[in-house]
Amino acid sequence: MKLFITGASGFIGKVLLDRLCALVGQQDRIFILSRSAYHNPDKRVQLLKGSLETIEHFRQNLLESDYVFHIAANATFGRGIDYELTNFIGTQSIVDILKASKCLKKFIFTSTIGAVDRHASDRCVAPLNLESTPSPTSDYGRSKLKAEYCISDSGIPYVILRPTWVYGKNMRRKSHIAVFVSMAYRKSPLMHFCFPGKVSLIHVDDLAKALVNTMANGTALNKTYFAETESLSIGEIWRIVFTKVHNRSLLQLKIPSLRFFFGRLHSKLPLTVSNLFIDYLWAKDPAFRRDLLGDTDTKQFQNDVEDVISF
């Protein structure tokens, strides 16, 4: 068996690679695409130094692979960033190559909850699911949605995972939970407000487990899933983080949701504001847990946020 991973040196990719190395046989091979030198002592791992822009150089490696995990993406929010080049065109280039594959069993793509977001008419009273109308509000989300359509229309066997908030060791310091940890260390006064907006989360270990499980599960074929294991309000997340950092409880002022107001105006407000008051990034997907996590216990934020605090 041969596997191909893009983004293997990143936050999610490293955990996925470790799980795959523990699973595959001695004669199997794992190709990892990386812009920079990335040393892995496992002899079954072969570094392909390059990028999505030069993916054509690795056509043969892709065509030999049974499973291709496409994790690499530009997820840095900001203006003037070319998400299209990395997130869509890079994906399209891989898909075009794989259309000629005689080995491919599945192409597994890591998308984002941001490929869906909320339609302007959505009052955010129910969780996002596969029936939700994709209405990405960021260039990042739009580029990921275009990549999803490219994959689903291609005719190749695929699985698409839309992770919610992923947390764990070695996450980017400017990402949601890592930012909240920094706020706790600074004892930000904002954390004393218990905002009601709910978001969905998943630990990186559980996401990697689900990605690996896409390989053997015949049910997970030509399907899209929201990758989530629990949902908490922003206020609850702050309370848990603050308590873990300082080993003492946090006195919080309960904030009314004002759903009637924010549920109608969220399309005109910054996402950071909407998240505080309404369940903008709340998703629920029982099929994800059933198909890709089974009966196994999942990590819980209350117990496992230590991974972010201590890294």
SS3 assignment, position 40: coil
What pLDDT is recorded for position 234? 97
Q: What is the pLDDT of residues 150-163, one digit of tens each?
A: 999 999 999 999 99
Per-residue pLDDT band at 80 (split at 50, 70, 90): very low
Cα separation of 226 and 281, whole Å? 11
- Cβ distance 139 to 83 under 8 Å? yes
Prediction pTM value: 0.95
Neighbours of 287 (CB within 10 A): 15
Cα separation of 260 and 281, whole Å? 17
Q: Is it the case that residue 135 has pLDDT exceeding 50?
A: yes
The Cα-based distances of 298 to 163, 201, 205, 308 in angstroms read 15, 11, 9, 17
SS3 assignment, position 69: strand
What pLDDT is recorded for position 75? 66
Neighbours of 176 (CB within 10 A): 20
Q: Which helix (H) or strand (E) holds 106?
A: strand 106-110
Cα separation of 289 and 202, whole Å? 11
Q: Is it the case that residue 79 has pLDDT exceeding 70?
A: no
Domains of the chain listed by start with CATH number:
2-309 (3.40.50.720)
What pLDDT is recorded for position 82? 75
